[in-house]
A = this chain, B = another copy of it.
Amino acid sequence: MSITVEQRLADAGITLPEAAAPVASYQPTVEAGGMLYISGQLPFVDGELVTGKLGENVSEEAGHKAAEACALMLAAQMKRALGSLDRVERVVKLGAFVASTADFTGQPKVANGASDMMETIFGEVGRHARSAVGVPVLPLDAAVEVDAVVQVKS
């Protein structure tokens, strides 16, 4: 018998946040051609946006937590769009943008916060392709932004 994603979340003691409204004129998600495209999500921890830059005023550990928070918000958007996380066939691709000074090169470790959280939530189904890059600044001075493409069960 396979465990549901909701059971897995409960077992891990994870509560998803309320799905955030877009900060501008776009949709949080669009489903098309069997895929759910999810807008870039910002990191909210205890309701507060994690701001700043890696290499300056955000530690690698804080950046890792921020990336986890982005993944939780991506999952919250999946649940809002699909009704149940068990409709996720596969997390296909994450795009991780890490606000970085020009000498901070630890983007993979930061982005692992999002990648590991996807596997915690979805197990095998959560294993994805990824790109992770540094950027000089993100919307609202966020420390991390992550978007996603997810395959949906038909």
Number of chain A interface residues as a range: 35 or more
Residues in B neighbouring A53, C-beta threshold 8 A: 102
Residues in B neighbouring A37, C-beta threshold 8 A: 92-93, 129, 149
User: Are A32 and B151 touching (Cβ within 8 A)?
Assistant: yes
With both chains docked as a complex, state the minimum distance between the C-beta of A132 and any C-beta of chain B, in angstroms: 6
User: Are A136 and B139 touching (Cβ within 8 A)?
Assistant: no
- Bitwise, A94-113 to B at CB < 8 A (1) or not (0) is 11010011111111110110
Residues in B neighbouring A35, C-beta threshold 8 A: 32-33
Cβ of A79 < 8 Å from any Cβ of B? no
With both chains docked as a complex, state the minimum distance between the C-beta of A102 and any C-beta of chain B, in angstroms: 5
Some 21 contacts from A to B, beta carbons below 8 A apart, are A23-B108, A25-B115, A26-B130, A27-B127, A27-B129, A30-B90, A32-B35, A32-B90, A32-B151, A37-B92, A40-B132, A53-B102, A97-B133, A102-B136, A102-B137, A107-B139, A133-B135, A133-B139, A134-B137, A135-B136, A136-B136
Question: Apart from A26-B128, A105-B141, A133-B139, what are 7 other A-B pairs with CB-CB below 8 Å?
Answer: A24-B109, A24-B132, A25-B119, A26-B115, A26-B127, A40-B133, A102-B136
